[in-house]
Structures are given as structure tokens and as C-alpha cells.
Structure 1
Amino acid sequence: MAKSLLVISRQAPWAGPGAREALDIVLAGGAFDLPLGLLFLDDGVFQLSVAQQPKAIQQKDLTANLKALPMFGVDDLFACGHSLAERGLNPKNLNLDVETLDSQGVRALIERYDQVITL
């Protein structure tokens, strides 16, 4: 059986290549039916914001790629509730359906996976 993988995305979509690289890893893993999950943590939760304006800073919008995750079999999507609250994001108003976790839930989630990659 394949080992499970949790990718933790901690960068805002405009802060460098980390957000895109995390998404690429998840999409590739999903294409190969790898058991995986994606956790948005810290500034990574900004990827879930519906108010993004990537063209204003000459960046590519990740929203379409994020919405493609279920087509690649990636259904285990999570966000840290504390990170959302700190950044003023409402869990009910995100561009992706994610399960919101408290700090204890985040720790339990990390323990559940065989491998963890943080970007």
C-alpha cells in the first residue's frame, strides 16, 4: 500500500513559489492515486481567499488549480481555523470547500499521515 502524504502549504500565493509548488505536488500525487491531504496553514490560508487580485501584482491566479483538486481525487482539504481568524478570513466564505481544524486537530492530522511536506 502506498504511504500517505500530507502537504502543508504555508505561503501566500504571491509570496514566492511555495504555494504553487505545494499545489503541483498535490496534483501530481492525486494523478497517481497517492493517499494525500492538503493543509493550508499560516499565510497559506490566503490561497483560499475569494478577494484575490493576482493580476494587480502580475501573478497567475491559483484558484482554478485549487478547484481542480477534486478532479484529481484530492478530497482531503484542511485549513487551520486559527490562521484563518488571524488573517480575517471567514471559513464560510472561501474559494474552496475545506475542513477547518483547531490547533489540536492540526496536530492530530499531521500524526495521521506517513509523510509530511511543508512548503
Structure 2
Amino acid sequence: MTKKILVVCDAAPFDAQIIRDSLDMALIFAAVDQEVSWLFRGASVLALKTAQHPNQLGIKDFFKQLKTLEIYDIDRIFVCENALAEFSMSSEELTIDTETVNIKQQQALLKKQDHVVKL
């Protein structure tokens, strides 16, 4: 039976590879035919910003994989409205299509899930 799973991430892009681990987890859930969506909150929205070059820091560029989420039927990507404002970002600066959600919408989103996973 298909379950609704929301992966929630609020870690900075290079904070112990948490976003990469979240990406791997989302892809695993999608591979076993679960309905996966992803919510970026806090500093994690920085992972979606265009023109990043983690290889200059000696880190593998896993940000490219974020663009392949649609292939795995992970097409509902949410970003926190407050986080975008905190980092002076707009949705036009993001590398992938997202849905911006406020706090009330995030609470409603969380209630609709069968499982919420946060690393």
C-alpha cells in the first residue's frame, strides 16, 4: 500500500551531509513506490540556490541530483516562506521548481502525511 512520506530538512547544505542523506532517503522511498514529498526549512533552502560549487570545497556535487527528483516521481518539493525571507532569497533563485509554503500550510502538510522523516 502506498504511503505518503514527507522528508523534512532544515540543515545547512554542508552540515554533516544531512541534505545528501535526506536525498538518498527520499530516493529509496520513491524506489519502493511511496508517495514522497520534501520540505526544505531553515538553512536547508540554501541547498536549492543556483550557482553553487561544492567541488571547490572538496565535496561531491550532489546538488545536481536534486534536479532529477522528478524522474523518481518526487515532484512535490516545498520550501518554507520564512526561510526564503531569512536568507533574502526568492523562488526564482532556486534550481528546481518548488511550492512556497507558510507556517500554517506546513502544519496542514504535516497532518496529511502517513510518515514524516527528519534527519
Same fold (TM over 0.5): yes
Q: TM-score, normalised by structure 2?
A: 0.93
Aligned identity (percent) is 33
> Once superposed, which parts of structure 1, at least 4 consecutive aligned residues long, lie more than 4 Å away?
none
Q: Distance in 1 between matches of 2:15 and 2:77?
A: 21
**In the TM superposition, what is the alpha-carbon distance from 1:64 to its structure 2 partner?**
1.5
> What is the DSSP-based 3-state SS (H/G/I as helix, E as strand, rest coil) of the residue aligned with 1:7?
strand
CA RMSD of aligned residues (A): 1.1
User: Quick check: 21-30 or 56-65, which moved more?
Assistant: 56-65
Any stretches of 5+ residues in structure 1 without a counterpart?
none
Q: Does 1:24 align with 2:24?
A: yes
**In the TM superposition, what is the alpha-carbon distance from 1:2 to its structure 2 partner?**
2.4
Any stretches of 5+ residues in structure 2 without a counterpart?
none
Give the equivalent residue in structure 2 for 1:13.
Answer: 13
> What is the DSSP-based 3-state SS (H/G/I as helix, E as strand, rest coil) of the residue aligned with 1:55?
helix
Q: Distance in 1 between matches of 2:56 and 2:9?
A: 23
Q: Distance in 2 between matches of 1:47 and 1:62?
A: 10
Give the equivalent residue in structure 2 for 1:75.
Answer: 75
CA deviations 1:65-92 (Å, max 9, x no partner) are: 1011000111111000110110111111
CA deviations 1:24-68 (Å, max 9, x no partner) are: 011111122101110001111111011322122211222221011
Q: Please tell me whether the aligned partners of residues 78 and 101 of structure 1 are also in contact (alpha carbons under 8 angstroms).
A: yes
Q: TM-score, normalised by structure 1?
A: 0.93
Q: Please tell me whether the aligned partners of residues 47 and 62 of structure 1 are also in contact (alpha carbons under 8 angstroms).
A: no
Q: Does 1:49 align with 2:46?
A: no
Give the equivalent residue in structure 1 for 2:65.
Answer: 65
Q: Distance in 1 between matches of 2:51 and 2:82?
A: 19
> What is the DSSP-based 3-state SS (H/G/I as helix, E as strand, rest coil) of the residue aligned with 1:39?
strand
Q: Distance in 2 between matches of 1:47 and 1:111?
A: 25
